[in-house]
Amino acid sequence: MMGLMDSELRIPTAQQLPALTASAVGSSSTLRQRAVKVEGGNDGQFPAGLRVLVVDDDPICLMILERMLQQCLYQVTTCGRATTALTMLRENKDRFDLVISDVYMPDMDG
C-alpha cells in the first residue's frame, strides 16, 4: 500500500458492497430499521447510517477504510490505539453498531 496516491485509490461504491455489509451486520432488528434501498441496484436492502468504529495503528489503512465506509453511508469513527478504542466502548456500549479492528497493534494485540 505504500506509495499509493489519492488518485490511484479505487474505493468501491455503496452499490458494490451490499453482500459484505449484509453479512457483517447479521439480522438485528435495529440494523434492519436503518436499511435503505440501494439506488440503481437490485431489490436487496443496504444498511445505511451504521455507526462504525475502525481501529488501526496504520493511518493509511484508517483513511482508506474511513472513505470506503463513508461511501456506504456509515458514520465512521477512527482510532489509532486499541486501548483508546476499548475505553470508548466501555464508556458507552451502544455508541457503535460495528467495530473493525486490526489484530496486531503496538499497544495491544489479539
- At 3-13, the pLDDT tens digits run 444 444 455 55
β-partners of residue 104 are: 109
Residue 108: the pLDDT is: 85
Per-residue confidence (pLDDT) for residue 35, from 0 to 100: 44
Q: Is 40 exposed, middle or buried (0-12, 13-18, 19+ CB in 10 A)?
A: exposed
Tens digits of per-residue pLDDT, 40-71?
Answer: 444 556 688 999 999 999 999 999 999 999 99
Residue 75: all three cell numbers together: 458514520
3-state secondary structure of 50: coil
Asked if the model's pLDDT at residue 34 lies above 70, the reply is no
3-state secondary structure of 52: strand
